[in-house]
Each structure stands twice: as C-alpha cells, then as structure tokens.
Amino acid sequence: MAIKTLTVDAWQDWECRGCGKKFDVERRAARMASDVPLYVSPDEKPFAIMDDEGRYACPHCGKTRHDEKAFAENNSPELGKAKNKKVELSLLVHPQWLEGCPKCDEQTRDYGGSATDSVEATIRWNHARAAKLRLLEVRGKLPEQVTCRETGVTFTTTEDGGTVTKPGNFE
C-alpha cells in the first residue's frame, strides 16, 4: 500500500550495561500507522524506543534505562547528542481484506456496494468490508514473506503473492 523512509532522532550503537550488546536508542517511534501490527524484518538492526518519560529497554536482555534529559532535549550527558537515523517502512494490506465478503449477510440480505444498491445494503456492505480491513506495517527491508502477529497468517510480499496479475488487472 505504501513505502516510506522516515527519519528519527537516535543514539546509534549504544552498548547495554547489562549484556554488553549494541542497539540503537530511538527518541520516538518511526511508524506510518501506529495502530496496526508491526513486523520487524530479520535483518533490521536491534533498536529500543524511548517512552514519554525517557525510559527504554535493551532489546537483547530487557534491562531498562531512564534518561529524561535525552528525551526532552535530544541531548544528554550519558547518551550525547542524537543523530538522524533513516528507517524504512512498508505498509501492507492483509490478505484477509482481499478475500472480499459473501453476497449476503447472515439474514440472507444482499450486501450493497454498487451505485444501484440501496443505502441500507451499502451500509451493510461497508460494515462487512471494514470488519476485515487489516494492515501490517513492516520495518526494514521487505522480506519475501511476513507473518502477522495478531492473526498468525503468513503471506508473500513478492509479485508471486500479490493480486495484480498484470498492470491494470486484479484478481
């Protein structure tokens, strides 16, 4: 549905005092659609996101740190000055939505959706379609397959798995 590169303030290659492993501390979440599930690509560098109080946790061991000054001012004695970091994001339409809906509802009333259908039928159709509308946001390089953590559905992101059979045609 969309591909975008966002820039976020980050302290890169921060070493955890608990486990000694490195990760990036990001001042805010880099998201296109914050209310949809996030899939992090396997090749994405480990990262932690500060909350509104400046708290963050090591993605390796879970040890938490707190740096209010870094969050508030983008600079602190411990972390230093944050630098711009680019984050690649893709927003995908979940295959459940692409399945469509049946011709009729549970009470055998026709769904609408076309210009000649009644308003009530079209409202039922809109509600049925909206109930299955689901997106998945992918952080990092888009892999050939992703799994939605909410539904457990794995789907292909390559041309082989899409619904566009050729330019201008959809299955």
Q: Encode pLDDT of 28-76 as tens digits.
A: 999 999 889 999 999 999 999 999 999 999 999 999 999 999 898 888 8
Last residue of a domain, one of 72, 91, 110: 91
SS3 at position 1: coil
How many CB atoms sit inside 10 A of residue 77's CB? 8
Same domain, 87 and 32: yes
Of 55, 42, 40, 52, the C-alpha closest to 87 is 40
Same domain, 98 and 87: no
The predicted model scores a pTM of 0.78
List the single range of 69-78, 83-92, 158-167 with lowest mean pLDDT.
Answer: 158-167
Give the number of C-alpha atoms closer than 13 A to the C-alpha of residue 49, restricted to the C-beta side.
Answer: 8
pLDDT band at residue 166 using 50, 70 and 90 as cut-offs: low
Ramachandran sector of residue 61 (left: φ over 0; alpha: ψ -120 to 50; beta: rest): alpha
Residue with tokens 């109080």: 53
Q: E strands within the chain?
A: 2-15, 22-26, 38-40, 47-49, 55-57, 64-66, 75-76, 80-81, 83-93, 135-139, 145-147, 154-156, 164-166, 169-170
Last residue of a domain, one of 64, 91, 118: 91
Same domain, 51 and 68: yes
Q: Phi and psi for 42 in degrees, rounded to 5?
A: -60, -30
Structure tokens at 112: 């609408």
User: What average pLDDT does the structure give for the chain?
Assistant: 88
Same domain, 11 and 83: yes
Last residue of a domain, one of 91, 113, 140: 91
Mean pLDDT of 160-167: 58
Domain that residue 125 falls in: 94-170
The pLDDT of residue 157: 83
Q: How far apart are CA 128 and CA 123, in angstroms?
A: 9
The pLDDT of residue 137: 94
Number of domains comprising the chain:
2
Percent with pLDDT over 90 in the chain: 48
The pLDDT of residue 26: 96
Same domain, 45 and 10: yes
